[in-house]
């Protein structure tokens, strides 16, 4: 097994110490494994069966221009 070193903000580290019952290295290991699994699934997907992950803030953004807003103002 390979070891890695992480830098953690002092504030976060102090909060982590309050939960000494948690094996933080095991927690981080599992989170990394889950994320790698997610990334591999995305990579494996074909264009015939696409599934896309999107940012909610980006999707909520209005894509209309100022001119579009004026043109569609009567619909509101």
Tell me the domain boundaries of the chain.
Answer: 10-75
Considering Cα of 65, then 66, then 71, then 75, what sign does the dihedral take? positive
In the predicted structure, residue 65 carries a pLDDT above the cut 90: no
Of the candidates 26, 53, 57, 18, the residue with the CA atom closest to the CA atom of residue 39:
53
Tokens 């830098």 belong to which residue? 7
Note if the pTM is more than 0.95: no
Cα-Cα-Cα-Cα dihedral sign, residues 13, 15, 20, 24: negative
Task: Write down the mean pLDDT value for the chain.
Answer: 80
């Amino acid at each position: 097994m390979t070891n890695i070193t992480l830098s953690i903000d002092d504030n976060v580290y102090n909060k982590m110490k309050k939960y000494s019952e948690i094996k933080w290295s095991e927690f981080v290991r599992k989170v990394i494994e889950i994320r790698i699994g997610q990334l591999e699934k995305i990579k494996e997907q074909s264009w015939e069966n696409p599934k896309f992950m999107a940012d909610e803030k980006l999707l909520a953004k209005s894509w209309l221009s100022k001119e579009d807003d004026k043109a569609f103002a009567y619909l509101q």
